[in-house]
Amino acid sequence: MPKETLVKEAMKTNLVLIDPNANVLDACLIMKKRKIGNVLVVENNQPIGILTESDILRKVVAAGKNARNVIIRNVMSTPVIVIDPYVSLDEAMKTMSKCNIRRLPVVEKQKLIGVITEKDIFRISPILHEISSEWYDITVRDETFLKQQIFSGKCEDCGILSTNLKNVEGRLLCEDCIDALKYES
């Protein structure tokens, strides 16, 4: 039986990171120079969001805003779903398809180590593209599946940055706040 390819084998490690307080024009110039479609937004070395070409088109350009005057924090996609490097490409594709996203920051031991995109997966395993379109309707987000994912961002109770936020009754919480809820019950 052939070995499954893991996320760590396909991910990019030359990350393009940006501060949430930078302006969108700065991000656009970086994206143009690097010929990429997104930048990861980090605070204290933790991914708190992602700014994509789509975010810029929908939230800046189509809104008639000046990119120089728009702060990334106000238009980035957040919180961001993250994935473990030891997950199979099949599982990464399933997460992307069911959550209707095309990029996943890769986190190991609470540290951002890479990013994997649909393009990375299709480059290594073109058959997954065909299979994924048969498995899932990528125009619809699977809310139940989405709620089970691990997120990176700020805990909605204590405000601490975490790469291990979980959805608890519609709120994204860190492990400490989840434990505190268990003791309250």
d(CA 35, CA 29): 10
Q: Please name the amino acid found at residue 108.
A: E
185 residues of the chain, pLDDT tens digit each: 357 889 999 999 999 999 999 999 999 999 999 999 999 999 988 899 999 999 999 999 999 999 999 999 999 999 999 999 999 998 998 898 888 888 999 999 989 999 999 888 888 765 655 555 554 555 556 677 777 788 888 888 888 888 888 988 888 898 889 888 887 76
Q: Which helix (H) or strand (E) holds 132?
A: helix 126-135
Q: Rounded to two decimals, what is the model's pTM?
A: 0.77
Cβ atoms < 10 Å from Cβ of 135 = 14
Please tell me the CATH code under which domain 7-138 is placed: 3.10.580.10
Which of these, 80, 76, 48, 88, lies nearest to 149 by C-alpha position? 80
Coil, strand or helix at 124: helix
CA distance 70 to 172: 26
Domain ranges of the chain: 7-138
Q: Cis peptide leading into 79, omega within 30 of 0?
A: yes
According to DSSP, the β-strands at 171-173 and 161-168 are antiparallel
Give the tokens for residue 169. Answer: 């009754």
